[in-house]
Structure 1
Amino acid sequence: MKISASTKLLLLGAFARLARCTADKCASLGSQLSIPDTQVITYSYETNGTVLPLLGTVASCGGPDPSAVITADICRVVLLVATSSSSEVQLEAWLPDSDVWNSRLLATGTGGIGGCIDYPTMQNGAALGFASFGMNAGHNGSTGFEFFLNRPEVLNDFGYRSLHVEASVGTQVVEQYYGASSTKKYYAGCSTGGRQGFQNAHLYPDDFDGLLLGSPGVNWLRIVASKGILAHRIGWPNLDSPAYVRPEQWPAIVAEQIRQLDPLDGVTDGIIDEPTRHRFDPQTLACGTGLLNATLCLTPQQVISVRKAYEPVADSSGHVVYPAFDLGANTNVFSANQQNGIAKLSYTTLQDFWRGAVYNDSAWTPENFSTADMDFALAANPGQVNAWDTDLSEFHRRGGKIISYHGRNDETVTSALSEWFYSDVQSNTNLTLEETQAFYRLFFIPGMHHCGGGPGAWSIGNAQRYPYDQVLLDPSHNALLALIDWVENSRTPETLIGTKYLDDVVGGQDVSQRSKSYPPSISSSISLINSHLAHCPYPSVSKQDHGDPKLATGWKCASSEN
């Protein structure tokens, strides 16, 4: 039907009046928002597709001139919430227009030591119609120690308080803007964000209906401490020690692990599916075996160092407190430990947090780090950051759901930690496996790095990844949509289908070979990739069936023992 010129003008006028009305509504919220201890810093009405400069963002959060693409017509509001006389949390809200709001709230977390708003997840959330929120965990920046130095209330925000503030204030913002409450409230976070979500479910079980938690950094202090302990096990900081394993040796060591252990899962694809089930003997890489050349092979002292690097971490009393580093994972967090021939740990989180939060000593360095330093931090537990809150009884009782995921190639948080945590949750809630899986499902993803990336079929709509693949925007392929389907329609996620993209560009071309992802020493042995792979809820694992290994239908969920 042809539309007349006069009708077009009427429609354009109506759209313009609607836009003015929505912008006025946003201005009204910004000028009249009334929430205790909350101050509006800025507000603006932004239209879909606008490139928004993120003014004032610190360098470690992507500064000095970062920007974000607006993914819906939204009212953007930036807030400052006082949490004590000496601390405050910055929040940001992206509120879609009322006619596209899906009646849900989506909160997001942070990573590392804090302080960067998770714009990618907010962008995805707003595009799906969520009232989307982000926060800075009480300070600005993801590197440094000054924001923690002698500031216990800031540490409390980072440790446990900021997410609850985001949930509480976000709920009130939604009610005042839309004149209605959210029908459901969700949270998505990875790494530190995963820790924040689990801790919140224990402390504030009424905050959210569903949690999507990736690579969760529970037992956070030991995660960070382990990098210093492993560095010392391989001879650091004495770079001239015969036991010291040089940075250039490690890629060859890891490649040989993959070559030896990869075929044991039945598919030679360059991925160790279950690294926690295997043992690697570094003696096979000793000089004289012929597996590594003369510049990379291991001396007798280095063989012992490498073996120690893959042992669990124990405390000063000899109790094992943290799992062994994952075989096949990149070791840079402890092996990239010199700069211009001088001992310097590239994993800066250890130095930053022990300086600013544990010892309150700006001159402290980790060269002499030991289990005693780890134990001291655990005893102090600044900001209650070392959450191991496995009693989720109340969250379970009120019907909350959790989807957690963890890469088996995680270089930052060893994947076995999620195994430990899952078992403790089951024990402390006193539930059978079936009852536990009815509210908490853990999916391990072979070949995925920390929170995303890697040689495996890792893309499941992961938190902190923007944009979503619009072609695979369904509960089978997108973990957030699977969580919504579970919470609201009682459809339990039996699998999550992961996808591998060329050069890890989400939404790009699915690939059937992954030799580019591996060192030349093993690339010739790599066969076809699973461009789509069905990941199974723990303790089940994906096993190749009789179908095409590049398709999800070529795999089945089975016991790890089969």
Structure 2
Amino acid sequence: MAYGISSCQQLATSLSALPGISVLNTTHITNGTPIALPDLVPSCANAASYNLATATTDMCRVIVNVSSSASSINRIEAWLPDKWNGRFLATGNGGTGGCIDYGNLQNGASFGFATFGTNGGHDGQSGYDFFLNKPENINDFGYRAIHVEAETGKQVIEKYYGRKADYNYYSGCSTGGRQGFEEAILYPEDFDGILIGAVAVDWLRIVASKGLLARRLGWPNLESPSYVSAAQWAAIVAAQVALLDPLDGVKDGIIDNPTLHNFDPSILACGTGVLNSSVCLTAAQVNTVREIYQPLANTSGHIVYPSFEVGVPTGVFSANTAVVNGTTIPKLNYGLVDDFWRGAVYNDTSFSVFNFTPKDMDFATNLNPGGINIAGGISHDVSAYHKRGGKLLAYHGRADPTVMSSLASRTFQKTAETLNLTTKEMHEFYRLFYVPGMGHCGGGNGQWAIGQPQVDRATGAQFNNSQHNILLAMVEWVENERAPVTLIGTKYVNDTVYLEKKKKKKKKKKKKKKKKKKKKKKKKKKKKKKKTKFAEEVRPQRGHLASDSTTAQESGIPMQHSDTMKIDIQIFSIKTRKSVEEEEEEEEEEKSLESVVRTIRCAFGRQHTNR
């Protein structure tokens, strides 16, 4: 059957006959045609910040409203490629939802998936009005929106293509990761394969932690003697990376596993000669930093959230100011705390995050608005999903500032305990991959591009194989029983697709030895370099599959699991070539860092502990 303009136009009529569905638009778009987003809410700009200038395949674009209750509506968008691969792909949200993930839509449709996105039951992800006095909107965001998307998607596919999809998949990161894990618990029949990144289970404590860490800093009292500025935090994190990076055997600006290291901030105090006078820490600030790297406890004194991890950027809790009329005022950078507690937890516009305490965290977790903490907070029971043969494929960046990477292994371990399964048995349906140096869902200094939509699909950046692309690895696992053992991550120069020629910066002459060494490097690079290259192997980097034992999971490669299953693999084994100009820039950055972090290697060596 051929799909195109006429079949796309007819779809509006057939969908209108379905109960609870209101068709807003059906448009056939040809490859290369500009894609318009006229109804995009301003706060959703980031969700559509990928290169969506043109379509990457011929497709039918469908937008519908679906009633999820008597008082709530979900907006769902579908990109239905003419050259359909027989698969359904649903996608999740980020933050507090409210935005269709267009990057994921484009990514899936480009590979031939009938791909769907949802706004999660409301429009926009900034503010609290969409939750205030709207319990059904909270339910959509908490547990229901993806199930509504799954049911709607299957109906749309059958109406358009004349048959059901051969396989049903889901992809989401952060809040989308939580939504996917929740699907496995509550609606195990919805998907055959669930791809989840930075799984934000125990979502309420994840969000609350940003407010509690800001308060530990002394915020909103910016004049407090114990307050640590954003500039100081940048120096602290740079020092941690400079110290701990070489311990994995490769100096690349990446701490492979930050959970292996303790940190004593006293070595960064003024007078130690480690940091310069503009960023060194006073005694009061040393205590503040020490507090930041301690786990969070509830009002009963029980630890409920892991400590912030070393070498990870701190902006989620430390960049908490704004300039209004030339005056710097305190403003929480992580707005989710204020918005969600005001709109969904307390349903009270007078709530102020300025006085946020563990009591607020505990109140929210006990209330559990919209069942948002079912996944991971209350339940890890994916037994029904396991029994029906579903696959869970998870990934997490080791430099994630939003969702601590240790939570991923904790989720894996608690799931294993709930199902009473060994690591070997868990790996038959649930696998977790860590990406050293990757930030939240993507980005960072590591080889973070593993097939997420954050890589610009429109310019051909994605690899079309299961070794480099985690979505395709999921397909291989579900359809051919070939479980992923290794994944190859890619780092693009300047996080763009193609290497760009830069004008070489003129530098002063250095010692003859350094000059000769650099000339040799340049000659070697020039021989290999081509005009249009976007990814090349340079050297291996370690990674690993998670186990159900914290000790084993943190032991590196090779590692011995608690059930004697031995995994001796390299998960992320490729780095891209760096241009000569970029290497020169890095040398300058290192030289600049040395002016801030002078004697730190020696000093920190005595403080470092391997657990």
Quickly name the TM-score band, shorter chain normalised.
0.7 to 0.9
Q: Residue type of the partner of 1:363?
A: S
Q: CA deviation at 1:533?
A: 4.5
Q: Deviations over 1:190-231 (max 9, x none)?
A: 110000000011000000000111111111110110011111
**Equivalent-residue separation in structure 2 for 1:291 and 1:529 (angstroms):** 36
Q: State the partner residue of 1:220.
A: 203
Conserved? CA contact 2:75–2:119, under 8 Å: yes
The equivalences for 1:432-471 within 5 A come to 432-467=422-457, 469=460
1:359 is the counterpart of 2:354: no
Conserved? CA contact 1:498–1:532, under 8 Å: no
Partner SS, residue 453 of structure 1: coil
Q: CA deviation at 1:464?
A: 4.6
1:402 is the counterpart of 2:392: yes
Q: State the partner residue of 2:358.
A: 371
Q: Deviations over 1:29-74 (max 9, x none)?
A: 1122132211111111111111111111110111999855322211
**Equivalent-residue separation in structure 2 for 1:187 and 1:498 (angstroms):** 21
Q: Residue type of the partner of 1:438?
A: E
Cα 1:211/1:466, change in 2 over 3 Å:
farther
Root mean square deviation, CA, Å: 2.7
Q: State the partner residue of 1:29.
A: 11
Q: State the partner residue of 2:469.
A: 478
1:209 is the counterpart of 2:192: yes
Q: CA deviation at 1:552?
A: 7.3
Q: Deviations over 1:282-305 (max 9, x none)?
A: 000011111111121111111110
Q: Residue type of the partner of 1:536?
A: H
Q: State the partner residue of 1:492.
A: 483
**Equivalent-residue separation in structure 1 for 2:484 and 2:462 (angstroms):** 19
Q: Deviations over 1:423-455 (max 9, x none)?
A: 001111111100101111101111001000000
Q: State the partner residue of 2:65.
A: 80
Q: State the partner residue of 1:162.
A: 145
**Equivalent-residue separation in structure 2 for 1:462 and 1:64 (angstroms):** 13
Cα 1:534/1:266, change in 2 over 3 Å:
closer
Match 2:269 to one of 286, 307, 316: 286
Q: State the partner residue of 1:236.
A: 219
Q: State the partner residue of 2:412.
A: 422
Q: CA deviation at 1:22?
A: 2.6
Q: Residue type of the partner of 2:367?
A: A
**Equivalent-residue separation in structure 2 for 1:126 and 1:361 (angstroms):** 41
Q: Residue type of the partner of 1:378?
A: T
**Equivalent-residue separation in structure 1 for 2:350 and 2:537 (angstroms):** 48
Q: CA deviation at 1:261?
A: 1.4
Q: Residue type of the partner of 1:233?
A: R
Conserved? CA contact 1:190–1:464, under 8 Å: no
Conserved? CA contact 1:157–1:383, under 8 Å: yes
Q: State the partner residue of 1:391.
A: 381
Cα 1:483/1:333, change in 2 over 3 Å:
same
1:132 is the counterpart of 2:115: yes
Conserved? CA contact 1:72–1:96, under 8 Å: yes
**Equivalent-residue separation in structure 1 for 2:94 and 2:247 (angstroms):** 34
- Which protein is richer in strand relative to its size? 1
Q: CA deviation at 1:532?
A: 6.4
Conserved? CA contact 1:115–1:136, under 8 Å: yes
Conserved? CA contact 2:47–2:103, under 8 Å: no
**Equivalent-residue separation in structure 1 for 2:119 and 2:183 (angstroms):** 16
Partner SS, residue 488 of structure 2: strand
Q: CA deviation at 1:499?
A: 0.7
Q: CA deviation at 1:529?
A: 9.5
Q: Deviations over 1:491-550 (max 9, x none)?
A: 110011101110112x43499xxxxxxxxxxxxxxx999576464311464579999x98
Q: CA deviation at 1:326?
A: 1.5
**Equivalent-residue separation in structure 1 for 2:47 and 2:150 (angstroms):** 29
Partner SS, residue 189 of structure 1: strand
Partner SS, residue 80 of structure 2: strand
**Equivalent-residue separation in structure 2 for 1:65 and 1:238 (angstroms):** 36
Conserved? CA contact 1:105–1:130, under 8 Å: yes
Conserved? CA contact 2:47–2:99, under 8 Å: no
- State how many pairs are aligned: 518
Match 1:89 to one of 70, 74, 92: 74
Identity %: 52
Q: State the partner residue of 1:12.
A: none
Cα 1:53/1:178, change in 2 over 3 Å:
same
Structure 1 gaps, min length 5: 1-17, 512-526, 554-560
**Equivalent-residue separation in structure 1 for 2:575 and 2:494 (angstroms):** 20
Structure 2 gaps, min length 5: 502-520, 522-535, 548-552, 560-567, 577-609
**Equivalent-residue separation in structure 2 for 1:529 and 1:259 (angstroms):** 24
**Equivalent-residue separation in structure 2 for 1:298 and 1:463 (angstroms):** 40
Q: Residue type of the partner of 1:400?
A: G
Q: Residue type of the partner of 1:486?
A: W
1:431 is the counterpart of 2:421: yes
